[in-house]
Amino acid sequence: TVESRKSYVEMARLRFEGGKTSELDFRQAEGELGRTESIHTELERQLLERENDLSFLLGRNPGPIPRGRPLSEMPVPPQIPAGLPSALLERRPDIRAAEQQLAAATARIGEARALMYPRITLTASAGYASTDLSGFLKSPAGFWDLIGGLTAPIWDWGKNRSRVEEAEARMRQAVILYERSIRQALRDVEDALAAYRKSTERAGSSGRRVAAQRSALTISENRYRGGVSPYLEVLDAQRELFDAELEQAGNLRDQRTSVVRL
């Protein structure tokens, strides 16, 4: 676009120097070139920031990112089929994280309950090689040192009961967070589907607008070269086409982003 504006400036300069147009056309062409260069510079700044963001996410130092095909040449996302299964939500990292938190909270309840019961340790020593407890009990030749090691959480019943209640409360909290994550995921999917539907409609409309504005620019250029119309007509057509192309790029970006958000 900047190069095309430069060619228009050169053409307007030659026509002005040849006495075919006024200086106004030449200055208007220069002004439009400056406007386009300013917009182009701002877009380059934004692009560099996005490249640095991607480099950071990839664990690299800031630098350029290899470019693919232009947005207009990228394949159109496939049509989203009707009746997407809710099982697709299981792939979302936020739901997986909430599910793991719920599983961990549930496991802690079992651990807290186990602490409420006594752990009895039986230590037996005998003067023979038998390892069967019932055999030991029935054998008259055994010499027994039977120690009932009662590591007694019974005496800490209140404390252990509080641990169970705390674990149950954490589990209920995890359930609430899990349910909230599912509701948020459903909302995100609905928003993404709506964005995809509307951005696709806008992309079609803006594509037709771009085609129409290109035709209008060609007509205005021919009229200007033939001396039928002033350069202002070409200038207006250029601006309309430029705005239409920016709108089309934004719609294509929104369309592809909405598919990724699913």
Instruction: Name every residue whose Cβ is closer than 8 Å to that of residue 260 and which is 6 or more positions away in sequence.
Output: none
| 150-154, 174-178, 241-245: least confident range | 150-154
Residue 156 has pLDDT above 60, yes or no: no
- In the numeric block, the tokens 């070269």 are attached to 225
Q: Find all residues with CB under 8 Å of 137, minimum gap 6, and list them.
A: none
* pLDDT (mean) for 253-260: 84
Check residue 216 and give its pLDDT.
94
Q: How does DSSP classify residue 243?
A: H
User: Which residues are CB-contacts of 16 (< 8 A; sequence separation ≥ 6)?
Assistant: 22, 23, 25, 26
In the predicted structure, residue 205 carries a pLDDT above the cut 90 = yes
The two three-digit tokens of residue 193, written as one number: 């589907």
Indicate if the pLDDT at residue 249 is higher than 60: yes
Share of the chain above pLDDT 70, in %: 74
- Strand-pairing partners, residue 123, are 147
Using pLDDT thresholds of 50, 70 and 90, give the confidence band for residue 61: confident
Side chain identity, residue 227: G
Residue 170 has pLDDT above 70, yes or no: yes
The Cα–Cα gap between 211 and 241 comes to: 9
What are the structural domains, with CATH classification, of the chain? Answer: 1-67 (no CATH), 87-117+165-261 (1.20.1600.10)
CA distance 18 to 117: 104
In angstroms and rounded to an integer, the radius of gyration of the C-alpha atoms of the chain is: 38
Q: What is the pLDDT of residue 163?
A: 73
Q: What are phi and psi of 230, to 5 degrees?
A: -75, 170
